[in-house]
Amino acid sequence: MISFLNENIKMPKLDRKAVRAWISAVAAGYDGRKVGNLNYIFCNDDRILEVNKEFLGHDYYTDIITFDYSEPGVVSGDMFISIDTVMSNSLKFHTSYDKELMRVIIHGVLHLCGMNDKGRGERALMEAAENRALDMWYNKQF
């Protein structure tokens, strides 16, 4: 089950049915993984900073924090997404807010599928996976 929740901000407009189908298709592309319980919590910068400090000991803003509760073959987790940072990143990277939001939504799923982006060369692999997933989204190939 994929849930969309909000804290301290207005819920972003999403075609929830299509987003759920897309996420399921992307997860299936990684060794046939199924979707378990995924919770997207859309929030503001203040809330994501609070979560980052409390649970990760980090004192900075970020676009997404993913908590992984996955089991073999099933992706599950909570993903906090700062809409404020998504908006500022869309301006910084000269892309649309909608495209940046979809990138961040799938970024969390890719983490749950086992991808990382901190080690040497991992960021490039993550970006390539994000781009493939975004192509699926925009070409409705799910």
Over residues 102-126, the pLDDT tens digits come to 999 999 999 999 999 988 899 999 9
The stretch 69-81 carries a mean pLDDT of 98
Strand partners, 68: 77
Q: Say whether pLDDT at 18 is over 90.
A: yes
Alpha-helical regions (H) of 16-121: 16-28, 45-51, 83-92, 97-112
Phi-psi group of 14: left, alpha or beta (phi > 0 → left; psi -120 to 50 → alpha; rest → beta): beta
8 A C-beta contact, residue 82 and residue 48 = yes
* Domains of the chain and CATH, by start: 2-138 (3.40.390.30)
